[in-house]
Amino acid sequence: MRKVLKKIVFSIPGGPEALAATRARKRRRKVNALRRRCYAADVANDIRYLNWHREGADYWKLSSELIFQHHKLEKGLCLPPEARAWFGRTAALETFRLMEEWKTHGFDRSAPVYQSALGILAAYRARLEGIADDNPERLELIARITAYLEDTAPEPAYATPLPARPAPEGVLPMLQELALARRSTRNFTDRKVDPAMVAEAARIGALAPSACNRQPWKVHLYDDPARIRAMLELQNGNSGFGHTVPLLAVICADQGSFFDSSERFEPVLDGGLFLMSFLYGLQAQGLASCCLNWAVPPERDAEGHARGDIPPEHKILTFLAVGHPAPGAVVPLSGRRPLEDTLHWHSETASVTSPAAAAAQ
Protein backbone atom coordinates (compact mmCIF):
# COMPACT_ATOMS: atom_id res chain seq x y z
CA MET A 1 0.00 0.00 0.00
CA ARG A 2 2.79 2.41 1.03
CA LYS A 3 4.70 1.50 -2.12
CA VAL A 4 1.65 2.21 -4.31
CA LEU A 5 1.02 5.57 -2.61
CA LYS A 6 4.67 6.51 -3.04
CA LYS A 7 4.51 5.63 -6.72
CA ILE A 8 1.42 7.83 -7.16
CA VAL A 9 3.04 10.76 -5.29
CA PHE A 10 6.16 10.48 -7.44
CA SER A 11 4.08 10.47 -10.63
CA ILE A 12 2.39 13.80 -9.80
CA PRO A 13 4.27 17.02 -10.72
CA GLY A 14 5.60 18.57 -7.50
CA GLY A 15 4.70 15.38 -5.59
CA PRO A 16 8.24 14.44 -4.43
CA GLU A 17 8.83 18.01 -3.16
CA ALA A 18 5.53 18.02 -1.26
CA LEU A 19 6.40 14.64 0.27
CA ALA A 20 9.85 15.89 1.34
CA ALA A 21 8.27 19.01 2.90
CA THR A 22 5.72 16.89 4.80
CA ARG A 23 8.51 14.65 6.10
CA ALA A 24 10.62 17.65 7.17
CA ARG A 25 7.59 19.11 9.02
CA LYS A 26 7.01 15.80 10.77
CA ARG A 27 10.69 15.63 11.78
CA ARG A 28 10.59 19.21 13.09
CA ARG A 29 7.46 18.46 15.15
CA LYS A 30 9.16 15.41 16.66
CA VAL A 31 12.35 17.35 17.47
CA ASN A 32 10.34 20.20 19.03
CA ALA A 33 8.27 17.81 21.14
CA LEU A 34 11.47 16.18 22.44
CA ARG A 35 12.97 19.61 23.16
CA ARG A 36 9.91 20.58 25.21
CA ARG A 37 10.04 17.31 27.18
CA CYS A 38 13.79 17.68 27.85
CA TYR A 39 13.59 21.31 29.04
CA ALA A 40 10.46 20.69 31.11
CA ALA A 41 12.26 17.79 32.82
CA ASP A 42 15.34 20.00 33.39
CA VAL A 43 13.28 22.76 35.01
CA ALA A 44 11.43 20.26 37.24
CA ASN A 45 14.77 18.72 38.15
CA ASP A 46 16.35 22.12 38.98
CA ILE A 47 13.42 23.10 41.20
CA ARG A 48 13.61 19.84 43.07
CA TYR A 49 17.31 19.27 43.50
CA LEU A 50 19.36 22.44 42.88
CA ASN A 51 18.93 24.06 46.29
CA TRP A 52 20.20 23.77 49.82
CA HIS A 53 16.84 23.67 51.51
CA ARG A 54 17.11 20.95 54.15
CA GLU A 55 14.54 19.07 56.10
CA GLY A 56 16.15 17.08 58.89
CA ALA A 57 19.64 15.64 58.72
CA ASP A 58 20.91 15.84 55.15
CA TYR A 59 24.62 15.04 55.25
CA TRP A 60 25.25 15.72 51.58
CA LYS A 61 23.69 19.18 51.39
CA LEU A 62 25.06 20.24 54.76
CA SER A 63 28.58 19.08 53.91
CA SER A 64 28.37 20.86 50.53
CA GLU A 65 27.30 24.13 52.13
CA LEU A 66 29.95 23.81 54.84
CA ILE A 67 32.68 23.26 52.22
CA PHE A 68 31.31 26.18 50.19
CA GLN A 69 31.65 28.51 53.19
CA HIS A 70 34.91 27.36 54.72
CA HIS A 71 36.54 27.25 51.31
CA LYS A 72 36.03 31.04 51.08
CA LEU A 73 38.22 31.42 54.15
CA GLU A 74 40.77 28.91 52.90
CA LYS A 75 41.27 30.58 49.54
CA GLY A 76 41.33 34.03 51.15
CA LEU A 77 44.40 32.89 53.06
CA CYS A 78 46.24 32.19 49.79
CA LEU A 79 45.99 35.57 48.07
CA PRO A 80 48.98 37.81 47.30
CA PRO A 81 50.22 39.95 50.20
CA GLU A 82 48.57 43.13 48.91
CA ALA A 83 45.10 41.55 49.51
CA ARG A 84 43.22 42.65 52.64
CA ALA A 85 44.55 41.07 55.85
CA TRP A 86 41.12 41.23 57.54
CA PHE A 87 38.53 39.39 55.52
CA GLY A 88 35.95 36.62 55.73
CA ARG A 89 33.76 37.57 58.72
CA THR A 90 30.50 36.57 56.99
CA ALA A 91 31.98 33.29 55.74
CA ALA A 92 33.31 32.55 59.23
CA LEU A 93 29.89 33.20 60.83
CA GLU A 94 28.26 30.95 58.23
CA THR A 95 30.87 28.29 58.92
CA PHE A 96 30.03 28.44 62.66
CA ARG A 97 26.31 28.17 61.90
CA LEU A 98 26.84 25.09 59.76
CA MET A 99 29.19 23.48 62.29
CA GLU A 100 26.47 23.93 64.90
CA GLU A 101 24.01 22.24 62.56
CA TRP A 102 26.54 19.44 62.07
CA LYS A 103 26.72 18.92 65.84
CA THR A 104 22.93 19.14 66.27
CA HIS A 105 22.49 16.27 63.82
CA GLY A 106 25.18 14.25 65.58
CA PHE A 107 27.37 13.95 62.47
CA ASP A 108 30.89 12.62 63.01
CA ARG A 109 33.34 15.35 64.00
CA SER A 110 36.30 13.31 62.77
CA ALA A 111 34.78 13.32 59.22
CA PRO A 112 37.01 15.01 56.60
CA VAL A 113 34.59 17.88 55.90
CA TYR A 114 34.35 18.84 59.58
CA GLN A 115 38.08 18.33 60.12
CA SER A 116 38.78 20.54 57.09
CA ALA A 117 36.65 23.24 58.71
CA LEU A 118 38.73 23.00 61.89
CA GLY A 119 42.04 23.11 60.00
CA ILE A 120 40.87 26.18 58.07
CA LEU A 121 39.59 27.92 61.21
CA ALA A 122 42.95 27.34 62.90
CA ALA A 123 44.75 29.02 59.99
CA TYR A 124 42.17 31.82 59.85
CA ARG A 125 42.61 32.44 63.59
CA ALA A 126 46.39 32.72 63.10
CA ARG A 127 45.73 35.36 60.43
CA LEU A 128 43.34 37.28 62.68
CA GLU A 129 45.80 37.12 65.57
CA GLY A 130 48.47 38.70 63.37
CA ILE A 131 46.43 41.89 62.97
CA ALA A 132 47.22 44.70 65.43
CA ASP A 133 43.91 46.39 66.18
CA ASP A 134 41.25 46.07 68.84
CA ASN A 135 38.31 45.53 66.52
CA PRO A 136 35.74 43.75 68.73
CA GLU A 137 34.38 41.71 65.80
CA ARG A 138 37.85 40.31 65.14
CA LEU A 139 38.39 39.51 68.81
CA GLU A 140 34.99 37.80 68.99
CA LEU A 141 35.83 35.65 65.96
CA ILE A 142 39.13 34.61 67.58
CA ALA A 143 37.29 33.63 70.78
CA ARG A 144 34.67 31.60 68.91
CA ILE A 145 37.27 29.79 66.84
CA THR A 146 39.25 28.98 70.00
CA ALA A 147 36.13 27.41 71.51
CA TYR A 148 35.66 25.19 68.42
CA LEU A 149 39.30 24.12 68.42
CA GLU A 150 39.18 23.26 72.12
CA ASP A 151 35.98 21.29 71.57
CA THR A 152 37.50 19.09 68.82
CA ALA A 153 41.21 19.26 68.02
CA PRO A 154 41.96 19.40 64.28
CA GLU A 155 44.08 16.54 62.95
CA PRO A 156 47.49 17.62 61.54
CA ALA A 157 46.57 16.22 58.10
CA TYR A 158 44.07 19.08 57.72
CA ALA A 159 46.62 21.88 58.22
CA THR A 160 46.27 24.56 55.52
CA PRO A 161 47.55 26.39 53.48
CA LEU A 162 50.37 24.41 51.89
CA PRO A 163 53.38 25.60 49.90
CA ALA A 164 52.55 25.57 46.18
CA ARG A 165 54.54 22.74 44.65
CA PRO A 166 55.88 22.58 41.09
CA ALA A 167 55.32 19.55 38.89
CA PRO A 168 58.13 17.00 39.28
CA GLU A 169 60.99 17.12 36.79
CA GLY A 170 60.37 14.97 33.70
CA VAL A 171 56.65 14.51 34.22
CA LEU A 172 55.54 16.07 30.91
CA PRO A 173 56.68 13.16 28.67
CA MET A 174 54.97 10.73 31.06
CA LEU A 175 51.75 12.70 30.92
CA GLN A 176 51.98 12.82 27.12
CA GLU A 177 52.54 9.04 27.06
CA LEU A 178 49.55 8.44 29.31
CA ALA A 179 47.33 10.74 27.24
CA LEU A 180 48.39 8.95 24.05
CA ALA A 181 47.90 5.51 25.61
CA ARG A 182 44.36 6.25 26.77
CA ARG A 183 42.13 5.46 23.85
CA SER A 184 38.51 4.35 23.98
CA THR A 185 38.63 0.57 23.93
CA ARG A 186 35.75 -1.56 22.70
CA ASN A 187 37.00 -5.10 23.27
CA PHE A 188 37.52 -6.44 26.81
CA THR A 189 38.49 -9.78 28.35
CA ASP A 190 36.11 -11.33 30.89
CA ARG A 191 38.69 -10.81 33.67
CA LYS A 192 37.12 -9.09 36.68
CA VAL A 193 38.28 -5.59 37.54
CA ASP A 194 39.92 -5.37 40.96
CA PRO A 195 37.89 -2.92 43.12
CA ALA A 196 41.19 -1.66 44.60
CA MET A 197 42.15 -0.40 41.13
CA VAL A 198 38.83 1.40 40.81
CA ALA A 199 39.40 2.97 44.22
CA GLU A 200 42.90 4.10 43.21
CA ALA A 201 41.54 5.69 40.02
CA ALA A 202 38.78 7.40 42.03
CA ARG A 203 41.40 8.82 44.41
CA ILE A 204 43.10 10.39 41.39
CA GLY A 205 39.72 11.51 40.00
CA ALA A 206 38.90 13.20 43.29
CA LEU A 207 41.96 15.45 42.91
CA ALA A 208 40.18 17.17 40.02
CA PRO A 209 39.17 20.78 40.62
CA SER A 210 35.51 21.48 41.35
CA ALA A 211 33.41 24.60 41.93
CA CYS A 212 34.19 25.73 45.51
CA ASN A 213 35.72 22.30 46.08
CA ARG A 214 32.31 20.68 46.54
CA GLN A 215 33.31 17.46 44.71
CA PRO A 216 29.83 16.52 43.55
CA TRP A 217 30.86 13.36 41.71
CA LYS A 218 29.30 9.96 42.38
CA VAL A 219 30.16 6.70 40.64
CA HIS A 220 27.71 3.77 40.59
CA LEU A 221 29.41 0.47 39.74
CA TYR A 222 27.97 -2.78 38.36
CA ASP A 223 29.82 -6.05 37.79
CA ASP A 224 26.94 -8.48 37.52
CA PRO A 225 26.56 -9.43 33.81
CA ALA A 226 22.74 -9.48 33.93
CA ARG A 227 22.65 -6.03 35.54
CA ILE A 228 25.16 -4.67 33.04
CA ARG A 229 23.06 -6.06 30.20
CA ALA A 230 19.91 -4.46 31.60
CA MET A 231 21.65 -1.10 31.92
CA LEU A 232 23.31 -1.25 28.50
CA GLU A 233 19.96 -2.04 26.86
CA LEU A 234 19.12 1.61 27.56
CA GLN A 235 22.27 2.94 25.88
CA ASN A 236 22.69 3.24 22.12
CA GLY A 237 26.49 3.23 21.69
CA ASN A 238 27.63 -0.20 22.87
CA SER A 239 26.44 -2.50 20.09
CA GLY A 240 28.98 -5.15 19.14
CA PHE A 241 30.99 -4.90 22.36
CA GLY A 242 28.58 -4.31 25.26
CA HIS A 243 28.59 -8.08 25.96
CA THR A 244 32.34 -7.96 26.69
CA VAL A 245 32.11 -5.22 29.35
CA PRO A 246 33.09 -6.67 32.77
CA LEU A 247 32.51 -3.49 34.77
CA LEU A 248 30.04 -0.71 34.10
CA ALA A 249 30.50 2.59 35.89
CA VAL A 250 27.81 5.26 35.79
CA ILE A 251 29.38 8.66 36.36
CA CYS A 252 26.99 11.05 38.09
CA ALA A 253 26.99 14.38 39.90
CA ASP A 254 24.96 15.01 43.03
CA GLN A 255 22.90 18.12 42.37
CA GLY A 256 22.45 18.69 46.11
CA SER A 257 25.97 20.15 46.04
CA PHE A 258 24.62 23.27 44.34
CA PHE A 259 22.59 26.17 45.70
CA ASP A 260 20.37 27.25 42.78
CA SER A 261 19.77 27.14 39.04
CA SER A 262 22.56 29.61 38.30
CA GLU A 263 24.83 26.63 39.01
CA ARG A 264 22.98 24.32 36.62
CA PHE A 265 26.04 23.59 34.47
CA GLU A 266 28.42 22.94 37.37
CA PRO A 267 27.38 19.31 37.95
CA VAL A 268 28.28 18.47 34.36
CA LEU A 269 31.53 20.41 34.38
CA ASP A 270 32.78 19.14 37.75
CA GLY A 271 31.73 15.59 36.87
CA GLY A 272 33.58 15.85 33.54
CA LEU A 273 36.76 16.99 35.26
CA PHE A 274 36.52 14.05 37.68
CA LEU A 275 35.88 11.70 34.78
CA MET A 276 39.00 12.69 32.85
CA SER A 277 41.29 12.15 35.86
CA PHE A 278 39.47 8.91 36.67
CA LEU A 279 40.13 7.69 33.10
CA TYR A 280 43.83 8.47 33.48
CA GLY A 281 43.84 6.69 36.84
CA LEU A 282 42.37 3.58 35.20
CA GLN A 283 44.72 3.74 32.23
CA ALA A 284 47.78 4.18 34.45
CA GLN A 285 46.96 0.82 36.07
CA GLY A 286 46.63 -1.07 32.79
CA LEU A 287 42.85 -0.88 32.56
CA ALA A 288 40.98 0.29 29.47
CA SER A 289 37.72 2.18 29.22
CA CYS A 290 35.14 3.62 26.88
CA CYS A 291 32.68 6.41 27.70
CA LEU A 292 29.15 5.56 26.61
CA ASN A 293 26.96 8.59 25.98
CA TRP A 294 23.88 9.18 28.09
CA ALA A 295 22.13 11.34 25.48
CA VAL A 296 18.64 10.12 26.32
CA PRO A 297 15.12 11.56 26.64
CA PRO A 298 13.78 12.09 30.18
CA GLU A 299 11.78 8.84 30.25
CA ARG A 300 14.88 6.78 29.52
CA ASP A 301 16.89 8.74 32.05
CA ALA A 302 14.28 7.82 34.68
CA GLU A 303 14.52 4.17 33.60
CA GLY A 304 18.33 4.31 33.96
CA HIS A 305 17.94 5.62 37.50
CA ALA A 306 15.43 2.87 38.30
CA ARG A 307 17.46 -0.01 36.82
CA GLY A 308 20.67 1.22 38.42
CA ASP A 309 19.16 2.08 41.82
CA ILE A 310 20.54 5.58 41.32
CA PRO A 311 18.92 8.31 43.43
CA PRO A 312 17.16 10.94 41.28
CA GLU A 313 19.39 13.77 42.55
CA HIS A 314 22.42 11.95 41.11
CA LYS A 315 22.44 13.37 37.59
CA ILE A 316 23.72 10.72 35.18
CA LEU A 317 26.50 12.22 33.03
CA THR A 318 27.79 9.19 31.18
CA PHE A 319 28.08 5.42 31.31
CA LEU A 320 31.63 4.08 31.27
CA ALA A 321 32.78 0.62 30.22
CA VAL A 322 35.87 -0.50 32.17
CA GLY A 323 37.96 -3.65 31.81
CA HIS A 324 41.19 -5.29 30.78
CA PRO A 325 41.72 -4.94 27.03
CA ALA A 326 41.37 -8.20 25.07
CA PRO A 327 44.72 -9.58 23.79
CA GLY A 328 45.45 -7.91 20.46
CA ALA A 329 42.69 -5.33 20.94
CA VAL A 330 42.94 -2.44 18.51
CA VAL A 331 41.66 1.10 18.94
CA PRO A 332 40.70 3.80 16.47
CA LEU A 333 43.27 6.47 15.75
CA SER A 334 40.53 9.07 16.37
CA GLY A 335 42.70 11.76 14.79
CA ARG A 336 42.71 15.13 16.47
CA ARG A 337 41.91 18.50 14.97
CA PRO A 338 44.80 20.91 14.45
CA LEU A 339 45.51 23.23 17.39
CA GLU A 340 44.44 26.20 15.27
CA ASP A 341 40.89 24.87 15.61
CA THR A 342 41.20 25.03 19.40
CA LEU A 343 43.40 27.90 20.54
CA HIS A 344 42.18 31.38 19.77
CA TRP A 345 44.81 33.77 21.12
CA HIS A 346 43.72 37.38 21.62
CA SER A 347 47.26 38.64 21.96
CA GLU A 348 49.79 40.88 20.18
CA THR A 349 52.66 38.47 20.78
CA ALA A 350 51.45 34.92 21.48
CA SER A 351 50.29 32.49 18.81
CA VAL A 352 49.37 28.81 18.49
CA THR A 353 53.00 27.68 18.03
CA SER A 354 54.11 25.30 20.79
CA PRO A 355 57.33 25.99 22.78
CA ALA A 356 58.98 22.98 21.11
CA ALA A 357 58.10 24.18 17.59
CA ALA A 358 59.21 27.71 18.45
CA ALA A 359 62.58 26.39 19.67
CA ALA A 360 63.03 24.40 16.43
CA GLN A 361 62.52 27.52 14.23
**CB atoms closer than 10 angstroms to residue 215:** 22
71 binds ligand FMN (CB under 6 A): no
- Listed ranges 9-17, 101-109, 218-226, 290-298: which one lies at the site for ligand FMN (CB under 6 A): 290-298
290 binds ligand FMN (CB under 6 A): yes
Min separation Cβ 144 and ligand FMN, Å: 46
Please name which of 4, 8, 44, 47 lies closest in space to residue 258, comparing C-alpha atoms: 47
Min separation Cβ 310 and ligand FMN, Å: 17
Min separation Cβ 196 and ligand FMN, Å: 25
Tell me the CA distances in angstroms from 39 to 42, 46, 175, 260, 297, one per residue in order: 5, 10, 39, 16, 10
- Stretch 327-346 residues interacting with ligand FMN (CB under 6 A): 331, 334
Q: How far, in whole angstroms, is CA 234 from its chain's centroid?
A: 22
Min separation Cβ 254 and ligand FMN, Å: 19
Nearer to ligand FMN, 99 or 290 (CB): 290
Using CB under 6 A, pick the residue from 9, 142, 234, 291 that binds ligand FMN: 291
* DSSP strand pairing (314-323 vs 217-222): unpaired
d(CA 76, CA 121): 12
- Stretch 219-278 residues interacting with ligand FMN (CB under 6 A): 237
Min separation Cβ 330 and ligand FMN, Å: 11
Please name which of 310, 304, 212 lies closest in space to residue 266, comparing C-alpha atoms: 212
- Indicate left, alpha or beta for 295 from its phi (over 0: left) and psi (-120 to 50: alpha): beta
Burial class (CB in 10 A: 0-12, 13-18, 19+), 132: exposed
Min separation Cβ 258 and ligand FMN, Å: 21
Q: Three-state SS for 320?
A: strand
- Listed ranges 18-26, 89-97, 126-134, 284-292: which one lies at the site for ligand FMN (CB under 6 A): 284-292
- Stretch 157-196 residues interacting with ligand FMN (CB under 6 A): 183-184, 186
Query: Which residues does 326 contact at the CB level (< 8 Å), separation at least 6?
Result: 187, 188, 189, 244
Q: Three-state SS for 111?
A: coil
Residue with the shortest CB distance to ligand FMN: 237
305 binds ligand FMN (CB under 6 A): no
Please name which of 109, 119, 117, 102 lies closest in space to residue 70, comparing C-alpha atoms: 117
64 binds ligand FMN (CB under 6 A): no
318 binds ligand FMN (CB under 6 A): yes
Min separation Cβ 275 and ligand FMN, Å: 8
Q: Tell me, by CB under 6 A, how many residues bind ligand FMN.
A: 11
Q: Which residues bind ligand FMN (CB under 6 A)?
A: 183-184, 186, 237, 290-293, 318, 331, 334
